[in-house]
Chains A and B, each alone.
Chain A
Amino acid sequence: MAHPTRHCLSYKGAMRVNFLLTTSKRVFYAILLLIAVLVLNFSLIHLAPGDVADTISQSMGGADQELLDQIRADYGLDQPFMVQLGRYIGGVLSFDLGYSFFYNMPVTQLIMERLPATLLLVLTAQLLALIIGVLLGVVSARKPNGITSHFVTFLALFGYSAPVFWTGILLLIGFSLKIQLFPVAGMRDVTIDGGFFVQAQDIFMHLMLPMITLASVFLALYSRLSRATMMEVLGSDYVRTAKAKGLTQSQVVYKHALKNALSPVITLAGLQFSAVISGAVLVETVFSWPGLGTLAFQSIIARDTPTILGILFFSALVVIVGNLLTDVALRAVDPRLRGRG
């Protein structure tokens, strides 16, 4: 007869090995995907007329053909496409995204300066939308004809129809011009001096409006989906079992039902990651939030090719990391996914 504990351990062990295998497989695919994104971005930009040499010559107030050729030779732009592509990918793999002539600094450094602001905005907006969305969904699922439920319907309609920049401008007018609750633009007030907490509070106040604006779009999505799944789950057999055990309302709803209703919402949130990032470009522009979005906007205007490519690469990276995290979260709430590839 098999030893009971050993049987158990070997089973759990198998699950763990399986998990590591699938995770490393996913990471491998993610890297392949990133390289594909690089090739595609580079090719697309290459197809567009004009190059860095044009940009440089423009910034110098014009240059003759000889000088242009000289610049092209200096930066390897006279090389065949495949060579340039190979060099670029090689560079990226060693964290060198090229040099921005517009900002006069390496693109990697430029992006690293802006990335935290974008990550802060994107992650807090997603989190806010998820938490409030799920709460609204739960409350309205318990009272489908209650006021919260009607509010969710209204919110969904608003979220679907209102463009994010319009919401942003509206909030800006309302809460920083009319009622001067929050600062108008930027991420920090340079005149403020103080310790960590003072600084953090300053950033938080700046963050509020952009975060709410960005969250509003996704809040609508998440609250509607949570309401629908929650209503389904509340009518399920296992919720009836939970009640039959004599558990309290809140144990039934917030433990038994909610954990089951979370999976679809997390899946949706994962799928929305790229939409959140493109939403961030608009929101950052409205609120002059110093992140990748404003950088993208400026560098497109300035035809700053290396920076544009770098931002595209980082957006893809953030989306891919977001999807990996979604996967981890899904496995955490649903044991049925843990054993599978």
Chain B
Amino acid sequence: MSPLLTVENLRIELTTRDGVAPVIDDLSLSLNAGETLSFVGESGCGKSMTALALMGLLPEKIGRVAAGKIIFDGEDITHASPARLREIRGNDISMIFQEPMTSLNPVFSVGEQIAEAIRAHQNLPRKAAWNKAVELLDAVRIPNPKGRAGDYPFQMSGGQRQRAMIAMALACEPKLLIADEPTTALDVTVQAQIFDLLTDLQKQSGAAIILITHDMGAVAEMARDVIVMYAGRKAEYGPVDAIIEHPRHPYTQGLISCVPHIVSDMTEERHDLVEVPGIVPSLKDFGRDECLFASRCQHRTEECMSKRPVEKHFDNNQIADCWHAEEL
């Protein structure tokens, strides 16, 4: 069976005041139907930009696919027409955003916004679409869905709005759901509920999920594979278990040791990287031919500063883009 989604050597360039920079630089991945792939990494590493590229929603005039392919269901959507992309968006691929407070339109009722997503792709009468919206609100566990469908976003809490967003995203039973930090803006107690909901809905619908999150616990629970992003590049890619067991990239090591309950059995040495000093480089430096993590890396050598690391493949399907991955 061929994967649902294959990304091959994707390069996305943003044109800003500082010039053109690759916000995504040579990214490849594959995702099977019904499976979950997770993206982790600090803010500003290009996770959202990857998600938007998959949706065909790169910032207009600024962003473009400079090279590579996004093959979804056998079709390279980097070359799809705007009309074809509209057919795919919200129907085959849909997306949940980070900001539930601002992602719903404040002047339309929640039910109408969900029904609209249905009517955009299915030839349903208004009433039928509305009823389906109510069913979807019920499915995302909003109490009294019939009464709440007429509510406006300002009448709902952050968690309820995110549930409504999920209902909207699932309205047309997409094959791929992209969740871009769906819980970052929510209360801790609500975060777990949203992850549970996503897990259950995935079981029911069989949708593949791309989960962008800072929550390593959720990654461990939900995802089969994980991609660690750093400054527009993949730092490490592979099965979640393998990477948590033995991260090969110093950046991954740093990130993972931030999550005590996952790495409760980790050794003393790993503790050294809990605090990764420094910050993600700014976009204009993304394209440099060197390891972009070098300035923050303890293991850095001359080689790291003079050449971009190549992929190191390991037997357990783990890939790390680090000159010293084998030794670590």
Contact = CB atoms under 8 A, between A and B. Distances in A.
Interface of A: 4-5, 7-8, 11-12, 236-238, 240-248, 251, 256, 259-260, 333-336
Contacts of A236: 102
A237 B147 contact: no
A246 B89 contact: yes
Contact of A246 (B91, B104, B107, B154): B91
B116 A245 contact: yes
Nearest to B98: A237
A336 B156 CA distance: 12
Q: Which of B55, B107, B121, B168 is the most central at the interface, judged by chain A CB atoms within 10 Å of its CB?
A: B107
Task: Give the interface size bracket for B toward A.
Answer: 20 to 34
A238 B106 contact: yes
Contacts of A260: 105-107
Given A7-B144, A8-B147, A248-B86, A240 B152 contact: no
A335 B109 CA distance: 9
Contact of B89 (A4, A5, A245, A251): A245
B90 interface: yes
B94 interface: yes
Contacts of B104: 238, 241
Nearest to B153: A238
A48 to B, nearest CB: 50
Given A260-B105, A335-B107, A335-B152, A247 B147 contact: no
A85 to B, nearest CB: 47
A111 B127 CA distance: 51
B150 interface: yes
Interface string B80-122: 0000001111110011010100111111110000001100110
Interface string B126-151: 00000000000000000010110010
Nearest to B106: A336
Contacts of A12: 150
B168 A245 contact: yes
A245 B147 contact: no
Given A8-B147, A244-B97, 5 more contacts: A237-B97, A238-B105, A245-B94, A335-B107, A336-B152
18 contacts: A4-B144, A7-B144, A8-B150, A237-B102, A240-B97, A241-B103, A241-B105, A242-B105, A244-B55, A245-B168, A246-B86, A246-B117, A247-B90, A247-B116, A259-B107, A260-B106, A335-B106, A336-B107
A9 to B, nearest CB: 9
Given A7-B144, A237-B99, A244 B105 contact: no
A8 B104 CA distance: 21
Contacts of A237: 97, 99, 102-103
Nearest to A338: B152
Interface of B: 55, 57, 86-91, 94-95, 97, 99, 102-109, 116-117, 120-121, 144, 146-147, 150, 152, 154, 165, 168
B120 A246 contact: yes
A236 B144 CA distance: 30
B106 A244 contact: no
Contacts of B86: 246-248
A259 B116 CA distance: 16
A244 B107 contact: no
A245 B165 CA distance: 11
B154 A335 contact: yes
A256 B106 CA distance: 9
B150 A333 contact: no
Contacts of B165: 241
A7 B90 contact: no
A244 B95 contact: yes
Nearest to A247: B120
A245 B108 CA distance: 15
Contacts of A248: 86
Given A4-B144, A236-B102, A244 B90 contact: yes
Contacts of B102: 236-238
Contacts of B97: 237, 240-241, 244
Given A244-B57, A245-B90, A256 B121 contact: no
A250 to B, nearest CB: 12
A236 B120 CA distance: 21
Given A4-B147, A5-B147, A241-B97, A246 B87 contact: yes
Contacts of B146: 4-5, 8
A334 B88 CA distance: 31
Contacts of B116: 245, 247
Nearest to B87: A246
A240 B103 contact: yes
Contacts of B152: 335-336
A243 B121 CA distance: 13
What 3 A-B pairs come out closest when comparing CB atoms?
A: A8-B147, A246-B90, A246-B89
Contacts of B89: 243-246
Nearest to B82: A249
A5 B148 CA distance: 10
Contact of A240 (B57, B94, B147): B57
A164 B186 CA distance: 54
Contacts of A244: 55, 57, 89-90, 94-95, 97
A260 B86 CA distance: 23
Nearest to A238: B105
- Which one of B90, B105, B165 has the greatest number of beta carbons of chain A within 10 Å? B105
B147 A7 contact: yes
Nearest to A333: B107
A244 B91 CA distance: 9
Nearest to B100: A237
Nearest to A262: B107
A243 B116 CA distance: 12
Contacts of B150: 8, 12
